[in-house]
Amino acid sequence: MLPNGMARQEPPSIRKGGKQPKILSDDKVKVLLNNPNMWYVVATLPKWSSGVVGNIRSMQQRNISHLKDKGSFECKQRKNNEGVDLYIRFVPIGE
């Protein structure tokens, strides 16, 4: 028997404030971390993107900034018929 005003309940999920990453989301980061040194196409962009690529390379995105001491992300862009493919791989330190 629980005391008055107490109930078993899971806490609600946390709302993340601010701008959420669209190109390199948490799900994509998990795949890259679990498969280091393998290239993946993570997005097809309408045009060349220097800002997004620069933020990923410099590890400035909030969802990857804590990985600076573990390794780095390499990015390459290649033109295709629909736009520009963004290729990314995670390279652990020491490899």
Whether the CB-CB separation of 37 and 78 falls below 8 Å is answered with no
The radius of gyration of the chain from alpha carbons, rounded to an integer in Å, stands at 18
Task: Specify the DSSP class assigned to residue 25.
Answer: -
Q: Where are the domains of the chain?
A: 26-92
Q: What is the pLDDT of residue 22?
A: 80
b/e per residue 66-88 (b: at least 16 CB within 10 A): ebeeebbbebebeeeeeeeebeb
Q: Find the largest Cα–Cα distance for the chain.
A: 65
Amino acid in position 78: R
pLDDT per position as a tens digit, 11-46: 877 776 677 778 898 999 999 999 999 999 999 999
**pLDDT higher for 5 or 45?**
45
pLDDT per position as a tens digit, 40-85: 999 999 999 888 899 999 998 888 999 999 999 999 999 999 999 9
Q: What is the pLDDT of residue 4?
A: 82
